[in-house]
Structure 1
Amino acid sequence: MNKLSHSVLWIVTVLVTACNIQPKQEPIEEVIDRGLKASTEQALLMAKELETQNGRLPKTINKEGKLETSDYSWWCSGFFPGELWYLYEYNPTPEMKKYAEMYTDRVEEVKHITYSHDVGFMLYCSYGNGYRLTGKPEYKDVMLTGANSLATRYDERVGAIRSWDFNKKIWQFPVIIDNMMNLEFFSWASKASGDDRFRKMAISHADKTMLHHFRDDYSCYHVVSYDTITGMPHKKQTHQGAADESAWARGQAWALYGFTMMYRETGKPDYLNHAKHIASFIMNHPNMPVDKIPYWDFDAPGIPNVPRDASAAAIMASALIELSQLDKSTEAKSYLDFAEQQIRSLTSPDYLAAKGTNCNFALMHSTGHFPGKSEVDVPLSYADYYYVEALMRLRNQLKNKSL
């Protein structure tokens, strides 16, 4: 054997040895189960802590490191009840059902709210999951009342749902990208009531958003304000992002989730194509970290030394799992692979809290409103909700494949 052959053999031996000593990756099924069990433990601790605090719901951790709660009127009020329903679906114990019902009841008064566009978040995540799993007719009644309340914020001249009522000197009719998330509530209401106006409002809002909220690279603005006479945009800005032209991470996540969901609900190919373009922007962004948990804004000054947003990653993962099911092209696997990477990261000690820590929230390191110096590098109720939803979606997808 000549020297070259010896060298080749040595290199091959080293490579084979290196491959053999690499730690085996934890099977994704075990990651999912570990994440759901950890979320269950934390959620039950949270539920018990607030059980005697009438009407209170978990929100975040305050600057003193203490649990911060809200009543039903805060836009995040429906997430903890919704998380409990998902965890009940995972492990249907009487205790989990008791708490899911208890905290869902605390949100009922939302059905009369007309001053907020977040009624979809508040009721569909809580009562919607409860109704899906129990079929209780009173849950349906609450949601239909709420859908009619939300419909009062729709303006036919603009063709969209008004998001906010403040800053009237700057915005005439502000619509934020988050508002896409309320359209699933309208889609449900249309089917549940037989009233097609809800579906028409949802489609009109989605079409308007698709036309005016996005840049050429399929990143989206946070806020677009419409002229109430012409129905055309007069301002495109941010409120929670780094700059008007930046890509606020959670905004991109809302967009991805919203248009994926609208394709599922309508079958309109334009929505699928739009969701795929948004996914491509997110997945291929040069500032996406190796662990796939985005910085709070893709264009934040100071990257990489800026806070992450685990909530954005959880929303993205949940949306990408669904997109991988809806898309029949060869790209579908890339969506699932990316979501799996995000779930592995979120279920690692870097983001998943140890039992009894983190004020009993499951995930650490989310960012709510960085420019406002509010909820920076803290747990958030919606991060936990979409994390658990993503875990359940992936779990169900893997189960269906094995059947």
Structure 2
Amino acid sequence: MKLHTLGLGLLSLLAAPALGQSSLPKKTLKLAEKQATLMLEQVPLAVQQKPAAPGKLPPVSPRSLTPAGELAVVPSKDWTSGFFPGYLWLLSEATGQPKWQTAARTYTANIEREKLDVTSHDVGFKIYCSFGSGYRLTQDAAYREVIVQAARTLSTRFNPKVGATRSWDHHRETWGYPVIIDNMMNLELLFAATRLSGDSSFYKVAVSHANKTLANHFRPDFSSYHVVDYDTLTGSVVKRTTHQGAANESAWARGQGWALYGFTMCYRETKNKAYLAQAEQVARFILNHPNLPKDLVPYWDFNAPGIPNEPRDASAAAIMASALYELSTYSPASADLYRRSADKIMDSLGKHYTAKPGSSRGFLLLHSTGHKPANSEIDVPIIYADYYFMEAFLRRRSLAAGKPLSLR
């Protein structure tokens, strides 16, 4: 089967005109502005209602909604803390309105301390989605320095024997040296730091990590494991498991999105055709999967036992859409397929997964799933869904206008 070949059912869906092709994106952007305005009102209220405990960092960024429908705000240490400032930067880019950049600067400053957090592999998510977006749009030299320092911090988690950066420090009784597929996303920080500083050590760490993931994280069908545990003495694989998926051998949806996005980004930064081939194989796995719904918004796990009565994951869909738009620019043979698939995802999200104006404490997308096995954040709005949706929105708009994607 060629990479650009799909089942007849999906092909027929993609052949139809996109939902609300002319008006839906504009309506969605207006809704995003209205919801972001509400969110900026809600965050200070939520912080006042839940001040930091003695000795703890104060909450600074919105993450999700609690079971009671209240806004859940988190300290800068939380892995999601960079997505709201990043979202505000993207909204400023989408609208050209200075007020969003002003707000973005405020929320970005709130998490600068994370550039020094050596306990988290997610410094890439936290710093690059916020300071990285800010630097791309403003060329602020202070932001550049934060990015480079954060890359130094992330590099301390690299083990040369393993050839990858360590993910979690928790659950040491379960894993010796866990590396999760999510960690592919943090490599973008390292690539950026090499460009900004001239220090090639960051690039070398990123490439080593990508190569190790390419070698050990994927099954024969190109679906990704969530967690690969390594022996630090030999660098060999100890076991392959999951933490947020339905089972060790299942395909956790957001993990497939991280894989697709991560290897697409790695191809952009290195031009290594092995990374492009991997991204295309992952795209084929996703788009050809028999359990992918007609609206192309996946269930939280492609192998969840209760399909079709399982929660969807709008965040996974948004990540996939953003990645597919970029991937379409590198693969002439499959460009139309990838763009139409991404358009279908975006139209589905825009029409059926967005909040009503003035609701959901200001979140834009509904129906994401954070950690189903832990019964956490199920069928709720989550901030990273909004971030990747807005990124995909901008990429779609650029491609429709015949303009290059703004990626660096």
Normalised by the length of structure 2, the TM-score is 0.90
Alignment of 1:334-345 (within 5 A): 334-345=337-348
1:46 is matched with which residue? Answer: 39
- Tell me the distance in 2 between the aligned counterparts of 1:259 and 1:93: 33
1:220 is matched with which residue? Answer: 224
1:387 is matched with which residue? Answer: 389
Q: Specify the structure having the higher radius of gyration (Cα).
A: 1
1:332: Cα distance to partner? 1.6
79-88 or 90-99: which moved more? 90-99
Instruction: Write the letter of the residue equivalent to 2:42.
Output: E
- Tell me the distance in 2 between the aligned counterparts of 1:168 and 1:50: 34
Q: What 5-or-longer segments of structure 2 have no aligned partner?
A: 1-15, 48-57
1:228: Cα distance to partner? 0.4
- Tell me the distance in 2 between the aligned counterparts of 1:145 and 1:27: 44
2:289 is matched with which residue? Answer: 285
1:11 is matched with which residue? Answer: none
**CA deviation profile, 1:326-360 (whole Å, cap 9, x unmatched):** 112x2121111111100000001x20111111121
28-37 or 246-255: which moved more? 28-37
- Tell me the distance in 2 between the aligned counterparts of 1:106 and 1:192: 23
Alignment of 1:1-400 (within 5 A): 26-51=19-44, 53=47, 56-328=60-332, 330-348=333-351, 350-400=352-402
1:28: Cα distance to partner? 2.8
Question: Do the aligned residues in 1 keep the contact of 2:38 with 2:361 (CA within 8 Å)?
Answer: no
- Tell me the distance in 2 between the aligned counterparts of 1:296 and 1:106: 31
1:169: Cα distance to partner? 2.1
1:119: Cα distance to partner? 0.3
- Tell me the distance in 2 between the aligned counterparts of 1:68 and 1:51: 11
1:32: Cα distance to partner? 2.0
Q: Secondary structure at the match of 1:56?
A: strand
- Tell me the distance in 2 between the aligned counterparts of 1:121 and 1:127: 10
Q: Secondary structure at the match of 1:224?
A: strand
Q: Secondary structure at the match of 1:400?
A: coil
Q: Secondary structure at the match of 2:377?
A: strand
- Tell me the distance in 1 between the aligned counterparts of 2:18 and 2:277: 33
Q: Aligned pairs, how many?
A: 378
1:8 is matched with which residue? Answer: none
Question: Do the aligned residues in 2 keep the contact of 1:176 with 1:224 (CA within 8 Å)?
Answer: yes
Normalised by the length of structure 1, the TM-score is 0.91
Q: Secondary structure at the match of 1:253?
A: helix
Question: Do the aligned residues in 1 keep the contact of 2:42 with 2:71 (CA within 8 Å)?
Answer: no
Residues 135 and 290 from structure 1, CA distance in 2 versus in 1: closer, same or farther, beyond 3 angstroms? same
Question: Do the aligned residues in 2 keep the contact of 1:175 with 1:224 (CA within 8 Å)?
Answer: yes
- Tell me the distance in 2 between the aligned counterparts of 1:331 and 1:147: 34
Question: Do the aligned residues in 1 keep the contact of 2:19 with 2:347 (CA within 8 Å)?
Answer: no
Instruction: Write the letter of the residue equivalent to 1:38.
Output: L
Q: What 5-or-longer segments of structure 1 have no aligned partner?
A: 1-22
- Tell me the distance in 2 between the aligned counterparts of 1:69 and 1:302: 31
Question: Do the aligned residues in 2 keep the contact of 1:368 with 1:376 (CA within 8 Å)?
Answer: yes
1:319: Cα distance to partner? 0.2
1:94: Cα distance to partner? 2.5
